[in-house]
Each structure stands twice: as C-alpha cells, then as structure tokens.
Amino acid sequence: MRGKPLVSIVSAGLSKFGKIEGMYGRELFAEAAKEAFERCPNLDPKRDLDALFVGHMGESYEHQGHTGAVAADWAGLIPIPAARVEAACSSSGVALRMGIYSVLSGLCDVVMVGGVEKMTHRSTPEVTEFLAMASDFPFEQWNGMTFPGLYAWMATAHMHKYGTTETQLAHVAVKNHYNGSLNPKAHMQKEITLEQALTSRVIAWPLKLFDCSLITDGASCVILTRPELARKYTDTPVHIIGSGHACDTIGVYEREEFTSIRAARIAAREAYEMAGVEPGDVDVAEVHDCFTIAEIIAYEDLGFCNPGEGGRLAESGETSLKGNIPVNTSGGLKAKGHPVGATGTAQAYEIYLQLTGQAGRRQVADAEIGLSHNVGGAGVTATVHIYRRG
C-alpha cells in the first residue's frame, strides 16, 4: 500500500546552528527539545514520552560521554530510558531508525529522537582528527588520509569516469548557500557567487573551501508516535512511510567503485520499496552534502538521475528551490552546518517544516512526499527515510 505510515512525527525542534559561544552541547539539545515541546502543547513530555535516542558522534569534543542520560537530564526527561546512538555523521539518522524500531515493536507509544554535537571550540586540526576516527585507522588515518582527502578521491574518480567538472561542484555550493540565506537557523546565511566558489582556496583538489561543509554546533530532535495516536497530539502529523539502513566497508580502498555509495543505494531501495514510491514522486529532499561531490553522488544513488548525470543535474537548476526536485532547502550541511551527531534529525526537521507548510521563504509549494539521506563516514553507513504529509 502506497504511503502506509510506519510512525508519525508530531513535532520537531532545532537549535540555532553555528559557532555558539558559552553553551555546552547539552544546552543546545535542551533548546531543540524546548521548541519541539512548544510546537506540541497537547504532549506532556514527562507523562507521554517513553524513551529518548540521541545521535552523538564523539566524546572527544567536550570530553563527555553518556550522552543519552545527559540529554535526558537537561531536556527535563529524567527518569525515562535514554541511549546514545553512534554512527559517525549518520548518528541521528540511525537514531531515527532506532526510534522507529521502538515504536513498531510495541514497547513505546511516543519517543523523542535527536542528535547533538558541540565542535567549534576545538581547533580545525583537532576537529579533523576527531572526524577522521570514523575512517579506517590502520590504512587511512595512519597514512594521513582525512575526509576532505577521501571525498576528493571520490570526486576525481567521478570526474575521470563521467566528465564531472569543478563548475558543476560549485553550482551545488551556490545553490545551498542561497537556501541557507533564507534559513534563520543556518550557520552560514549569505549567498556566494560561482566565481567565489571556484576561486576559493583549495582544501583537497578538486575540493575548495566552498565545496566543504562547516564545523558547526547544534542540536535537533523529532517526536515520533504510532500513527493511530498522532491526531491526539497534532492536526498536522508527518508520516514516515519508508526507512532504509545499510553499511559498507570501513575502508574506501576496499570498494569496487568510488563514484557511488553502495550503502546509500541499498538504503534508498529499501526505503522506496517500503514506502511504495519512486524517486520521481519525491517533492523535496535533504541529502548529505558534507562535500559538494557528495550531493552530486546522492542525486545518482537516490535515482534522481542516472549514474554520471549528477553534475549536469546540479548545473541545470532542477534541484534549486524552483526546480522539479528541490534539494537541501535548509541550506544543507554546506550552509546550514554540520554538527555531525545532529545532522540526520536536522534533515528530518526540515522535511517536517516543508510538509507542514512552515518553511517560510524556502517553502516548496504543495510538497507532499519528502526524503532525507544521511551518510556516516565516507559512505560507510547510510540511512534514507521517506515522509508523507499527514
């Protein structure tokens, strides 16, 4: 049955993304939770919430583990069961999957799923080292490979195989910065030109400064319930109708191809089949653009275009706000920011806004079907979720 709900989102919250001085990650999570509670006055958090799942990549940033309990404490949810979910940059995308499991199992009626990361108080070399822990240690980290390097490897392979150009990469950056300029919670709220993107300093060729996502602080959350209970809490639920999750080798060097992310293709296929929809049915999507090449590859892995055509799709304008398939209306990781543990449910937050008509100046008209695509590491873990307006 097309669009049969697995679970329903009845509320969502997002902290401001950016360089947030003087706040711990736990305070950012409390900010996101507060918005979610205020959006859903029919929900009593202490009475109704059965569990909390929090995506969080690393203890290193704040020298703090036990994130589930910390987040529950600061969101005022003690003593409900709470747990941290770790899957690198896809931590809260996987946490969302865990929340779906918990509701479908019948053990929980209402759960909060979210994510958080506080990163900007650390130096760029420190953040680079902490992020690299999501790659293979003996063969990648030990030999000096970083995520800009790994995605540059994927970009050059895509360029060699398909003729993808630096200008096509830059079009992704320009689009997402424009969308970010319309998002009051985005880290980077300013437009850039194609020339600025192309002439920015090289980080790992062909990736330049404006091809790379931001080191960001932030938190996000959504509240899930059984579909038959959704109208008890809101008149405008958003149903999750498909969910996919897959993994690939930790080492990129072990894969047969570098121009596609197999885990994302598998997760997308699972989600589409579960939802009973096809790529052409998607009205708005949030994809994991940690680097501009990652968005181009996502177009192909998600079936928005054929393999090798992602660069031309970016250049065509079809993924802009006024295009046939608007992608990263929030500004994406590229402009909204990438507080790694928070990214998956931040994507869900944007889709929730779009499907309930609350996205303001970046609203996609008549959006009914949404998709989020969250990737951990260099394609090691991927989740894809498909949403339908209630």
Residue 100 · residue 7 · CB < 8 Å: yes
In whole angstroms, give the CA distance from residue 371 to residue 240. 9
Which residue out of 40, 89, 212, 221 is catalytically annotated?
89
Polymer length of the chain: 390
CA 348 to chain centre: 7
Give catalytic status of residue 221 as yes or no: no
In whole angstroms, give the CA distance from residue 174 to residue 58. 30
| Torsion, Cα of 309, 311, 313, 318 (10° steps) | 170
18 phi-psi bin (left φ>0, alpha ψ -120 to 50, beta other): left
Which residue out of 158, 239, 288, 338 is catalytically annotated?
338
- Indicate the pairing of strand 82-85 with strand 51-55: parallel
Element holding 161 (H helix, E strand): helix 147-162
Nearest-10 crossing angle of helices 292-301, 147-162: 60
Q: Where are the beta strands (DSSP E) in the chain?
A: 7-14, 51-55, 82-85, 110-117, 202-204, 207-208, 218-225, 238-247, 284-286, 369-376, 381-389
Give catalytic status of residue 373 as yes or no: no
| Catalytically active residues, by annotation | 89, 338
